[in-house]
A = this chain, B = another copy of it.
Amino acid sequence: MSLQLVAGHQARVAPAVPFASETQSLSSLFSRQPVERIAAGAAVFWEGDQANHIFEVVEGTLRALRILSDGRRIIIGFLRPGDLLGVSLKDHYLYTVEAITPVELRRFSRHRFESESARAPHLKEQLFSRLCDEMAAAQDQMVLLSRRSADEKVAGFLLMMVRDQRENRRPVVELPMTRLDVADYLGLTIETVSRTITKLAGNGASRRSGVTRSPS
């Protein structure tokens, strides 16, 4: 489903990608790797797997999630082109990553990345910087989860989506993920998410446009 945000033009300035030149060199490292394709719904890796690889998203959208012992599901975040997966010094991945849409990504073995970055310390620097960004995002998410009302959560989520998709000029935000994904990301139920979106549309804050579901 896509949704046209009347408030789209009010979106804050996107946080600048730091060190465009350095990011260049980090992604250039990946650009030599072959592109792998993942089908929608398939997992890239699972929480607890040996963390042997780092990935860069080339195309598509993914979800990072954890399942609690009692079945409750938490979406840690959504990954989009340019994002890195599996950046951690832990031996095991902290969460499962699944493709929402068909995905293209490039893989780098951690072992090889270590040796590469040993020769070029600025690579490790960039990784560090990425991790700090992710840390800041995690803290913002904690604020969102602990202190925002359902309305604020959903509106904030839509504005985040619109910010990430700035490249297309129209204030139309595509939501490749399901309501369940959004709900598990915001700490709400699918019913509340659906109701809130409907309410925002009623307020004139946004308007629904066509449905374009991707095949499961």
Contacts and interface: CB of A to CB of B under 8 A. Distances in A.
Contacts of A74: 142-143, 146-147
Which of under 10, 10 to 19, 20 to 34, or 35 or more describes the interface residues of A? 20 to 34
Contacts of A88: 132, 135-136
A210 interface: no
Number of copies: 2
Interface string A185-207: 01100000000000000000000
A179 to B, nearest CB: 16
Interface string A39-79: 00000000000000000000000000010100010101000
21 contacts: A66-B139, A66-B143, A68-B143, A74-B147, A76-B139, A89-B129, A89-B132, A90-B132, A90-B136, A94-B135, A94-B139, A121-B121, A128-B128, A131-B131, A131-B135, A138-B138, A138-B142, A142-B142, A142-B145, A145-B146, A145-B187
